Amino acid sequence: MRITAIKPMVLGTPWRNLTFVVLETDEGLSGVGEVRMVNHTDALLGYLEEAGRNHVLGSDPFKIEDLVQRMFRRDYARASEIMASAIAVVEMACWDILGKALGVPVYQLLGGAVRDRIPAYANGWYTVERAPADFHTAAQRVVARGYRALKVDPFGAGFYELSRAEKLRSIALIEAVRDAVGPDNEIFIEMHGRFNPVTAIEMTRELAPLRPGWIEEPVPPENIRALQKVATAVAPLGIPVATGERMHTPYEYRELFELQAADIIQVDLTHYGGISATKKLAAWADAYYMLIAPHNVCGPVGTAAALHLAACTTNFKIQEHFNDFADAWVKDAVAGLPEVDVADGCFPLPQGPGLGVTLNEEFFAEHPREHVFFNLFAEDWQHRQARQNPTHDTRAHD
């Protein structure tokens, strides 16, 4: 079997463009991958055009390790988010083909399931005004949908530090969320790499009485020693530190692991070279007694891939999910994706061969690529809409 075509397609939303990649083969089987490449979709598409010619076309989709190694090494370039994401969409499409060819789910090919249910937490639910009453109502909707955990960034457009008024406002928002969800549900605090260490430590101490389940990316990702400073300071509070969504190679994780500067690894398989690379990283993290809680801002195919990883990974904690609250209609791009069960806030195991989803290519014509710039440091970014007037991008990429 050989790969005969690589076909990217872009699905637009008001704040994120989702890139799907279909690999076709000479035996009629096809596989699909997906990544949300925030603000860098053109770079990804350009890389895929060259990598398709240089590495992918003509390759055996069963020889996944060989194809990934060629894409990673033979361009003679240091791996970046663009390269790692391109490898990921190709790699997960190959796993989809392999599972379909053998008639089994991908997680069966990776060692089999170690759990019957996959816990999930909601993100993208607080597209409201930054007022306690609005956050309270929005959080109640999450619990009513069945989730036992949610994540929130209450800090507005803050960077490095906050004014006293903004500190008090952010605390009030989390107080409202805790009141809405009660004592038995988890609240994860997203910091989006906003803060210097002293501010991250101060805010964690202020929020500690509300018992957050973790603080996420408290400082920018480039300086692991700064992260270690935060982790050391908040450890006596019993609040875990989570990070990893902007780390794209094992070499970036080496120092993090050696310094034990985090407790929970939030690797995003769509930005980290795919399913098998992430499975290897999880095994490495396990040697340090770390859990993984994979980052996932994708639509349905990226979510499906994450569920297969979760099914077969022993130190998995919980799965991020956007698509019940932010652009829920994107789930219609495929058939076959499991839904979060309202009874327990968990996904069931994926069903069907490969990733278990079937792409609806006609759906993409109804939702073409949007011209958006998502800026986490703009005022009212939580509305998750473009700061400029969104328009359809008419460039012929899909």
Phi, psi of 218 (to 5 degrees): -70, -25
The CA–CA distances, whole Å, from 239 to 32, 73, 392 equal 38, 39, 43
Residues 6+ apart with CB under 8 A from 45: 8, 10, 19, 397
Contact at 8 Å (CB) between 20 and 9? Answer: yes
Distance, CA of 313 to CA of 282 (rounded, Å): 7
Residues 6+ apart with CB under 8 A from 236: none
Residues 6+ apart with CB under 8 A from 123: 150, 151, 190, 297, 320, 321, 322, 325, 326
Catalytic residue among 248, 295, 308, 321: 295
Contact at 8 Å (CB) between 135 and 154? Answer: yes
Q: How many CB atoms lie within 10 A of CB 299?
A: 27
Distance, CA of 309 to CA of 38 (rounded, Å): 23
Contact at 8 Å (CB) between 186 and 216? Answer: no
Catalytic residue among 192, 271, 308, 321: 192
Residues 6+ apart with CB under 8 A from 308: 95, 105, 106, 107, 110, 275, 350, 355, 356
Distance, CA of 245 to CA of 85 (rounded, Å): 12
Contact at 8 Å (CB) between 373 and 387? Answer: yes
- Confirm whether 192 is a catalytic residue: yes
Contact at 8 Å (CB) between 271 and 81? Answer: yes
H/E stretch holding 24: strand 17-25
Distance, CA of 349 to CA of 189 (rounded, Å): 27
| Beta-strand runs (E) in 203-250 | 214-216, 241-243
DSSP designation for 53 = I
- Confirm whether 136 is a catalytic residue: no
Give catalytic residues, as residue numbers: 192, 295
